[in-house]
Structure 1
């Protein structure tokens, strides 16, 4: 019996909640004929992240999972070492701030001394040297079956989400084989990735046997964050940047882009792929899946 989208969504550990009131608001306008219309649009709100007593950054976000976003951002920036324990996360919704407290002094001062503005659509920022901590990294040579990739795309692209209900948003999904586990959305693709990183760190989840699926471009930042999370495979509906491909090849990370329906392109790490599915037997995307170019 074929699994429905609703049944598939129930298998997520965390799934999108497009009905959550705080994430969208109704806005009225006029359509191409001048008729009055009302549509849901995604909310943006600031979140200022503190590490112990130091203000680090203010991010524009949709506002869900602030604890995962803050912990993941700090971890991906190298401001939280593996052996540093988070002792508290204090979120103040009214002040739009979150304080991450640790059990030892961190090295955020050195990181703040150098900033690199990234290509993130919500203006991402990477502190310190982007490749710091990745020297000598060896990602697991976990096999990836193309049947898993096709199954993941079919499930993820039809899962009820803010993208399908309102658009103007990116999604990132942590997956294991053909099963999507944690699906995060945000206005910036880097925010969605950081939420995944925060969940992984908080739950002690290892990335060595995981796949990260994203709707965003495969840029240098996305590749570096994926590698920093220990995930050996990065898949996207969107395209690549040259620096993203170069870094992926240097790190031995598999990147697969332009994955739509039965088609995809692998520009790094093809040795991990086991082509066990006939592309001609894979159905093309339906009208209710993500549309090319929209919101990406």
Structure 2
């Protein structure tokens, strides 16, 4: 195996701390401070960003930009999100050449020509019969309506958000990453970060597929805006609840309402807003 190339088996066993160390880099910058009377030279820690090109069964599939951490999970999650695979078992081998910027995936089945086209084809699809818009054909194939029976109290939601905020040393150092976690009503199971909010969610999807997790009654805790893209990613992961520190968009809420997903936003301090399917959260607040 070439230096810099990681097989799926060895990549998945790397501990999270080792994978996170490559997510930042040091950069010399010039900081202005009024009380110092000018520019001061300092070293700043910034979020790392790499471009990776996927080759699937020997064919170029897509190029993405991401943080160089948890790449095997992101690769599996991305392929599942795009409809190329249904489970991690569909991948025969996965080689990551970070130095050259390539991910090579060999699948146990042929890659359908329609799947390649779907990665860039924009379509209008029906979501639960209500004529909502899916952006990509792969969304139509892989987004699932939630049947989750999970229930959380508002206090549990606030606690999970605090746990997310305390989990990311890299975010505290750079301020340049989106954070996402998968958890139960009581605690977080897995934490992932990336420069792209969709990448962070793909990493969670890959984590759940590799671990063969039952995700229906899990929740996503998220630092970024609740966009339509985020809701669709959550639907692909299979969760029924998304908790976010930030604001939602109207299309995201329409999709969440149709897909049976509970969206709570602006979770800050001791307050939050529940926008869709409040029955999973609001019972305590209604007393």
Report the TM-score, using the length of structure 1 for normalisation: 0.79
Question: 1:284 corresponds to which residue?
Answer: none
Q: 1:202 aligns with which of 201, 204, 210?
A: 210
Gaps of 5+ in 1: 1-12, 118-125, 279-296
Question: 1:32 corresponds to which residue?
Answer: 33
Q: Give me the CA root mean square deviation.
A: 2.5
Question: 1:101 corresponds to which residue?
Answer: 106
For 1:14 and 1:270, the matched residues in 2 are separated by 37
Match runs of 1:134-173 below 5 Å: 134=143, 137-173=145-181
Q: Is the 8 A contact 2:161 2:243 kept in 1?
A: no
The alignment status of 1:229 with 2:237, answered yes or no, reads yes
Match runs of 1:285-296 below 5 Å: none
Q: 1:130 aligns with which of 130, 135, 139?
A: 139
Q: Is the 8 A contact 1:17 1:162 kept in 2?
A: no
The alignment status of 1:80 with 2:85, answered yes or no, reads yes
Question: 1:122 corresponds to which residue?
Answer: none
**Cα offset for 1:77?**
1.5
For 1:19 and 1:273, the matched residues in 2 are separated by 33
SS state at 2:140 partner: coil
Q: 2:51 aligns with which of 5, 25, 46?
A: 46
Question: 2:224 corresponds to which residue?
Answer: 216
1:44-88 CA-partner distances (Å, limit 9, x unpaired): 111112222221211111211111111101111112134962111
Q: 2:62 aligns with which of 57, 60, 72?
A: 57
**Cα offset for 1:277?**
7.6
**Cα offset for 1:226?**
0.5
Report the TM-score, using the length of structure 2 for normalisation: 0.81
For 2:48 and 2:87, the matched residues in 1 are separated by 33
Q: Which moved more, 1:34-43 or 1:224-233?
A: 34-43
For 2:267 and 2:90, the matched residues in 1 are separated by 38
Q: Is the 8 A contact 1:110 1:128 kept in 2?
A: no
SS state at 1:217 partner: coil
Q: Is the 8 A contact 1:18 1:161 kept in 2?
A: no
For 1:22 and 1:43, the matched residues in 2 are separated by 5
Structure number with the higher helix fraction is 2
Q: Is the 8 A contact 2:88 2:210 kept in 1?
A: no
Question: 2:184 corresponds to which residue?
Answer: 176
Gaps of 5+ in 2: 1-13, 123-134
Q: Is the 8 A contact 2:146 2:239 kept in 1?
A: no
Question: 2:21 corresponds to which residue?
Answer: 20
SS state at 1:88 partner: strand
Shift in CA distance, 16/253, structure 1 to aligned 2, threshold 3 Å: farther
Question: 1:71 corresponds to which residue?
Answer: 76
For 1:102 and 1:245, the matched residues in 2 are separated by 35
1:197-240 CA-partner distances (Å, limit 9, x unpaired): 11111110111121101111111111111011110101110101
Q: Is the 8 A contact 1:185 1:192 kept in 2?
A: yes
Question: 1:288 corresponds to which residue?
Answer: none
